[in-house]
Chain A
């Protein structure tokens, strides 16, 4: 080949190579650009339009969820006219409240009882906020005032099955309460048990930094001598043990040192453990045997005596431990992860004990009770499958959680009608544990990894789903509204591990983002 011919061939090859290089670059950059562009969230959007509706084999009916064909469900009532907006879903019949309280939220530097200075948020100048102790059946009225929380604040009543309007989720059931504004929650607390309240506006930030408190609903005392003897003996002690980490240090009710509670020999003490953290916590008892009498505000049926066994309390979950004090006046240590409650006379010692190797398995703890519900033929059957994959979330690249294979906001809206019997199969393949919290309902555990539950009915609002585990949960749809169903590892929720349970005909006028800056996670 001649010299010019070689040069021409060479130039041709060079051009071809450049073109291929440019093409390959454009393909890579273009694809990433498209993924990035498509993942961006609008400045304001409604949960009604988000993701895709799943009907679980039930009738589609006149449900207004129309995410895919672009109808703004929030503005378009269902055809049969049965649509109701979230703010109307209230049990408020007017009347004077039995319990009235004002909670003032402030952004400030404060000292929890542990003494460490924390840059965070307080309610009425303190964190944890005041313990709300009410009696079942009482009408509770809480006025939330925001004095200085710039991003706005709400209160969610974790575990209580309240009417939807009082659920306290920014952008779903209300707008975040701006500085200078207020919001009043009025509800009847009708289920005795251990609950807690916390902000559901930027919750991954506000809960960690202090907008939280304990809520205890005590059972009604029997009023006539003919009635069953009351469960709570006045001689019993009742202790709230809210576990929270301030500035990285584990505390009980804000105390870093052992929380000492006086208790006499033979006295029964109920320790209401509340895990406000983002990961599961172990609780165990040294110096006495105990019963696990309630989980997530629901009593267990015929709980047996436990010794040398730990209890796993998932993030957001509660566990009530009943301890009978030893007759010899010695102390009892209730260890809650890195902090502890010590029960007994002031002088009593209670040595630290290592965590027992065994953990009580609630699938077989206690004895069964008939719930009168046939879970075998549910009206709807949903899958909540948690995974993880690389992608973009609102323009940010990373490894993000998926629900049924899709990234937020392409998350399921589980559509139900009032009265439906619902079974949810929740499975976790994401490599990490997820404490899954369903708002407004309790669900009963039917099976774990296919193995049927044989113990006490195990009702949960916050369920620890470890990696590789699957659960079948059953609940009856009796509380109309739009309810979050999300991971209570709150940073995970802010990373998109959020779905919604939506009732037929319910719409919400509130939007995520928008003028109120609603960001529930």
Chain B
């Protein structure tokens, strides 16, 4: 379970990286498309057609952010119940909380762009929390093998 916990926490961190890359990829593609004569208006933004190829970045960002990352964070929390090391639940809970905050900020950023800036800041917090959660997992094999004393210490 500790290994699963570790992997899931790293997956959340990696997903944050993908999110940042997808967004810049899409915005850069949009900029190039406009420079090449494309006209951006609301009907383009609402269009389901990919008017420029990098638009896939927006799609990835949306699907990852609204479905994949919350699902992974939720599974991380469930796994944390069984991970049996101090602070496992606390940190998984924090990661999930930051994910929920991130989605909220992302959606509210459509109305209040300044919250979009906080979305960017919170991404770094989420990344840090996910990496820290993964790194603070105690080694699995050692703890399991060295007998009850070690286990008692680990669970204290």
Contacts and interface: CB of A to CB of B under 8 A. Distances in A.
A24 B80 CA distance: 11
Given A282-B41, A433-B42, A398 B152 contact: no
A431 B111 contact: yes
Interface of B is mostly: helix
B43 interface: yes
Contact of B148 (A7, A398, A433): A7
A315 B107 contact: no
A178 to B, nearest CB: 25
Interface stretch (B17-25, B44-52, B123-131, B136-144): B44-52
Contact of B81 (A20, A245, A390): A20
A249 B128 CA distance: 41
A399 B66 contact: yes
A452 to B, nearest CB: 26
A59 to B, nearest CB: 39
A432 interface: yes
A145 to B, nearest CB: 27
B61 interface: no
A337 B39 contact: yes
A389 B108 CA distance: 12
A277 B111 contact: no
Interface in A1-45: 6-7, 10, 13-14, 17-18, 20-22, 24-25, 28-29
A289 B77 CA distance: 63
Interface residues of A, number: 44
Given A21-B82, A28-B77, A489 B48 contact: no
A399 B65 CA distance: 11
Contacts of A248: 47, 49-52
B48 A491 contact: yes
Task: Name which of A277, A489, A491 has the most chain B CB atoms within 10 A of its CB.
Answer: A277
A442 interface: no
Contact of B43 (A17, A277, A388): A277
B67 interface: yes
B44 A24 contact: no
Interface in B37-90: 38-39, 41-52, 66-67, 71, 74, 77-78, 81-82, 84
A20 B49 CA distance: 48
B49 A208 contact: yes
A509 B75 CA distance: 45
Interface string B18-35: 000000000000000000
Contact of A279 (B42, B81, B148, B155): B42
B93 to A, nearest CB: 11
A22 B148 CA distance: 23
Contact of B39 (A25, A250, A388): A250
A467 B110 contact: yes
B108 A431 contact: yes
Interface string A323-352: 000000000000001100000000000000
B66 A398 contact: yes
A25 B81 contact: yes
A469 to B, nearest CB: 12
B111 to A, nearest CB: 5
Interface of B: 38-39, 41-52, 66-67, 71, 74, 77-78, 81-82, 84, 103, 107-108, 110-111, 148, 151-152, 155
Given A21-B81, A208-B48, 14 more contacts: A10-B151, A24-B78, A248-B49, A277-B46, A279-B42, A280-B41, A280-B43, A315-B43, A337-B41, A338-B38, A338-B44, A431-B108, A431-B111, A432-B110
21 contacts: A6-B152, A28-B77, A208-B49, A245-B44, A248-B52, A250-B39, A250-B43, A277-B43, A279-B41, A279-B45, A279-B47, A281-B41, A281-B42, A315-B46, A337-B43, A338-B41, A397-B67, A431-B107, A431-B110, A433-B42, A491-B48
Nearest 8 interchain pairs by C-beta:
A279-B46, A338-B39, A21-B81, A248-B49, A279-B42, A277-B43, A279-B43, A278-B46
